[in-house]
A and B are shown apart, each in its own frame.
Chain A
């Protein structure tokens, strides 16, 4: 054995995995080779369906229910994982190979305290006694920079925030000091500002313990910060693999280049609206509450025809609540919504059908927003029928027009049900349904966050084209600032129910910023592999010198 081979921790050769769908086994991982050295971090990236998670789990000798490993070798530190018995594999899992899941909120057992779940693996694998594990947990919680490391373990998962849970899960994965950790999209469900903290904590701890890791994500900028090497996957096959810097600077394959280029889409910014033009929608001094707690305080902004206003902020900042007030689902406590200069009744039940028709919504989860039992014909046809009174031939023609508009072949798709469509196609149907009412104004609520970048780009282009054709006004709710840069004319930054900053995109994105806007903007990961390091240094320096130079205005 050569010196380099000794360092190999995990190797996969010709890995093949099949998945079961509709009573049929289809190959979802098609012959993947992978080598991971001790202490090395390998980034796996690709769109959904690329097989990233499946490969990550296979590194633990694990296949999800409905999946089976059919070919190839998986060797972990000299142990053939495919030949090993289930009991042997169980002995490795949690002890020498650990897993950090995408949604910590769902992956912590709601019935047990964090500390119990932390201690489970070390105690069960006979690595430590319970009291040692409890002691150790406090240490790791501290290293992961969790607040109150002595006490946080004695809380239940629902008592801890999402970002903290994700760190607690990383600490839990570290509990047996494994040789390898699989990170499966650990920051995808987090806000940008929280994501930074978690990324920094993960990177720190992996370095401290010299743990090898497979870092799975669809976000290139994130993987650039975390990985030493990057492997690009497409539909279960490898596209290419290289060291991070080489991969970022000079990808060789077209597919990789297209991934890299996705963020380049920007549409030309519209000229500023002339003074005196009546906005399509005007939110005036709105204060709204759920129960007795105000969630929106004195919100005001305008949306003009052919303009896109992006409303950005972290979760809980009141973006979606604003949409609920505009659509009349949540009547405001104070303030009003003007539509073309006229006040709308606060409650949607008291709005006329014509008023309802003018404002439509497109939702984040096309999956749940489309009735799975209805055919596309009915999904799109209903609003056309209800608002415009179309019947028979006219209705049929309208549905076909709408399908052509969203670039789906009418003849092929009109009689399908949502489950026969891809994620991007479903979102297109959501758009067609909103268009069917021929509105002047559409609220897009995180419409691209559940989609892969290439697909999302297609949706953004489509929305842009439709805006031009029908003079639509968009309100674009998002936490993704890359999307904002691409499509917004004006930006409204929200935090804790307040508008922090509002104005034309160029102004808001141009320094000097409000401190919160600055925090949001600087937290968006960039493709530069040194970005996170520099940012953390800057913030540390900023904290030290905060008294000298106040940020923002």
Chain B
């Protein structure tokens, strides 16, 4: 097992390097954004003198590499800086929103992952049947529409006249768990519809891909039932690609939900990012982008480790 720990340590190290490169790209990217925070915040009161004074005070006049290094040292200390707009700590701002985003992602994943695995397995079992085609077609339909469209359709049917669920999932104070499940149901359902197709189709394809293997024929010749052959004999060998697709979709649930958050007025990271870009509040934008990148790196690392653990040839050496 020790080689697994070595692999995890190596991958974590690589992840840090990746994040470093990403931080550089984020910083350069935000530098390229047009507009100026001082100009933006002063609005009507922006005279050349006030703008210059504000820039001076916020340290915006320092050369680029100095500001980058300052930012990096802050990150190393666990600080993401201070919001230009309201002087709050960026870590605190992100912390609050990140919790909400993770909750919603978890909510959606808790529905989507079991659902798509189950559908994928059933589609593989009843391949080329009506069920298979129906599941495929509906999954494809749901990802072919833009997210906001799916969201509005759901609102129309489930929240509109006579609907059961709220169309706005904005909650100000900490809601109870039931309250949260109820309020965040529609965004979670929207996200489920968006990510299910990908995972389901990969599960189906990964399983069907193995059905011509000699060990599957062996299982059939041992008189095993079709369901057992799929679940017990094909699935364990199909886990690696499935895990990777799940990880990619989980990352998407964390980083790609801006549109859904906006539609349902859900107080998540995506909204924070959009608002901050509009306000040219660079420390917040950079902080959120870095958190997104970290989510990708961590999820991919987890996927690689799990995929490795799912393969006895890599876990149990000769």
Using a CB–CB distance below 8 Å, which chain A residues touch chain B?
57, 60, 62, 64-65, 89-95, 98-99, 101, 103, 106-112, 120-121, 124-125, 155-156, 158-159
Using a CB–CB distance below 8 Å, which chain B residues touch chain A?
212-215, 217-225, 228, 233, 236-237, 310-313, 316, 318
Q: Are A99 and B221 in contact (CB under 8 A)?
A: yes
CB distance from A174 to the nearest CB of B (A): 12
Assembly CA distance A155 to B315 (angstroms): 12
Q: Are B218 and A101 in contact (CB under 8 A)?
A: yes
How many A-B contacts if CB must be within 8 Å?
77
Assembly CA distance A505 to B80 (angstroms): 79
Q: Are B221 and A62 in contact (CB under 8 A)?
A: yes
Closest to A62 in B: B221
Closest to B222 in A: A94
Knowing A93-B223, A120-B222, A124-B223 are in contact, say whether A107-B318 is a contact too (CB < 8 A). no
Q: Are B218 and A107 in contact (CB under 8 A)?
A: yes
Note all chain A residues with C-beta closer than 8 A to B225.
90
Note all chain A residues with C-beta closer than 8 A to B222.
93-94, 98-99, 120-121, 124
Q: Are B312 and A111 in contact (CB under 8 A)?
A: yes
Knowing A156-B316, A158-B312, A158-B318 are in contact, say whether A93-B215 is a contact too (CB < 8 A). no
Q: Are A62 and B220 in contact (CB under 8 A)?
A: yes
Assembly CA distance A155 to B312 (angstroms): 10
Closest to B213 in A: A106
Q: Are A107 and B313 in contact (CB under 8 A)?
A: no
CB distance from A166 to the nearest CB of B (A): 13
Q: Which of B215, B217, B224 has the most CB of A within 10 A?
A: B215
CB distance from B280 to the nearest CB of A (A): 53
Note all chain B residues with C-beta closer than 8 A to A92.
223
Contact residue among B223, B233, B312 (Cβ-Cβ distance under 8 Å from A121): B223
Assembly CA distance A147 to B111 (angstroms): 48
CB distance from B213 to the nearest CB of A (A): 7
- 23 of the cross-chain contacts (CB-CB < 8 Å) are A62-B221, A64-B217, A89-B223, A90-B223, A93-B222, A94-B221, A95-B223, A99-B221, A107-B217, A109-B219, A109-B236, A109-B237, A110-B311, A110-B313, A111-B237, A111-B311, A120-B219, A120-B222, A124-B224, A155-B316, A158-B312, A158-B313, A158-B316
Q: Are B218 and A108 in contact (CB under 8 A)?
A: yes
Closest to A172 in B: B222
Known interface pairs A93-B221, A107-B214; 8 further A-B residue pairs with C-beta atoms within 8 A, sorted by A's residue number = A90-B224, A93-B222, A94-B222, A101-B218, A108-B218, A109-B219, A111-B237, A156-B313
Note all chain B residues with C-beta closer than 8 A to A106.
213-215
Assembly CA distance A107 to B233 (angstroms): 11
Assembly CA distance A6 to B263 (angstroms): 77
Q: Are B217 and A109 in contact (CB under 8 A)?
A: no
Note all chain B residues with C-beta closer than 8 A to A124.
222-224, 228
Note all chain B residues with C-beta closer than 8 A to A103.
214
Contact residue among B212, B221, B312 (Cβ-Cβ distance under 8 Å from A110): B312
Note all chain A residues with C-beta closer than 8 A to B236.
109, 111-112
Q: Are A156 and B312 in contact (CB under 8 A)?
A: yes
Assembly CA distance A93 to B214 (angstroms): 16
Assembly CA distance A250 to B209 (angstroms): 48
CB distance from B314 to the nearest CB of A (A): 10
Note all chain B residues with C-beta closer than 8 A to A62.
220-221
Assembly CA distance A110 to B236 (angstroms): 9
Note all chain B residues with C-beta closer than 8 A to A112.
236
Knowing A111-B237, A159-B318 are in contact, say whether A91-B312 is a contact too (CB < 8 A). no
Assembly CA distance A91 to B219 (angstroms): 13
Note all chain A residues with C-beta closer than 8 A to B218.
99, 101, 107-109
Closest to B236 in A: A111
CB distance from B50 to the nearest CB of A (A): 68
Note all chain A residues with C-beta closer than 8 A to B318.
158-159
Knowing A111-B312, A112-B236, A158-B313 are in contact, say whether A101-B214 is a contact too (CB < 8 A). yes
Note all chain A residues with C-beta closer than 8 A to B312.
110-111, 156, 158
Q: Which of B220, B228, B313 has the most CB of A within 10 A?
A: B220
Q: Are B223 and A110 in contact (CB under 8 A)?
A: no
Assembly CA distance A101 to B217 (angstroms): 10
Closest to A111 in B: B236
CB distance from A316 to the nearest CB of B (A): 13
Closest 5 CB pairs of A and B: A94-B222, A93-B223, A111-B236, A94-B223, A106-B214
Note all chain A residues with C-beta closer than 8 A to B217.
64, 101, 107
Note all chain A residues with C-beta closer than 8 A to B310.
111
Note all chain A residues with C-beta closer than 8 A to B228.
124
Assembly CA distance A90 to B227 (angstroms): 13
Q: Which of A91, A111, A112, A158 has the most CB of B within 10 A?
A: A111
Contact residue among B212, B215, B221, B311 (Cβ-Cβ distance under 8 Å from A109): B215
Q: Are B316 and A110 in contact (CB under 8 A)?
A: no
CB distance from B195 to the nearest CB of A (A): 26
Assembly CA distance A64 to B213 (angstroms): 12
Note all chain B residues with C-beta closer than 8 A to A65.
212
Note all chain B residues with C-beta closer than 8 A to A57.
221
Note all chain B residues with C-beta closer than 8 A to A108.
215, 218
Assembly CA distance A105 to B237 (angstroms): 15
CB distance from A244 to the nearest CB of B (A): 27
Note all chain B residues with C-beta closer than 8 A to A125.
223
Assembly CA distance A121 to B224 (angstroms): 8
CB distance from B211 to the nearest CB of A (A): 8
Contact residue among A64, A89, A110 (Cβ-Cβ distance under 8 Å from B215): A110
Assembly CA distance A125 to B214 (angstroms): 21
Note all chain A residues with C-beta closer than 8 A to B212.
65
Assembly CA distance A110 to B225 (angstroms): 19
Note all chain B residues with C-beta closer than 8 A to A89.
223
Assembly CA distance A219 to B221 (angstroms): 24
Note all chain B residues with C-beta closer than 8 A to A94.
221-224
Q: Are B316 and A159 in contact (CB under 8 A)?
A: yes
CB distance from A347 to the nearest CB of B (A): 31
Assembly CA distance A93 to B226 (angstroms): 13
Assembly CA distance A125 to B223 (angstroms): 8
Closest to A103 in B: B214
Assembly CA distance A125 to B217 (angstroms): 17
Closest to A89 in B: B223
Assembly CA distance A62 to B223 (angstroms): 10
Assembly CA distance A92 to B222 (angstroms): 9
CB distance from A87 to the nearest CB of B (A): 9
Closest to A169 in B: B218
CB distance from A101 to the nearest CB of B (A): 6
Assembly CA distance A99 to B214 (angstroms): 12
CB distance from A5 to the nearest CB of B (A): 27
Note all chain B residues with C-beta closer than 8 A to A98.
221-222
CB distance from B117 to the nearest CB of A (A): 17
Assembly CA distance A156 to B237 (angstroms): 13
Note all chain A residues with C-beta closer than 8 A to B221.
57, 60, 62, 93-94, 98-99
Closest to A99 in B: B221
Closest to A122 in B: B222
Q: Which of B218, B233, B237, B312 has the most CB of A within 10 A?
A: B218
Assembly CA distance A121 to B220 (angstroms): 11
Q: Are A110 and B237 in contact (CB under 8 A)?
A: yes
Note all chain A residues with C-beta closer than 8 A to B313.
110, 156, 158
Assembly CA distance A107 to B214 (angstroms): 5
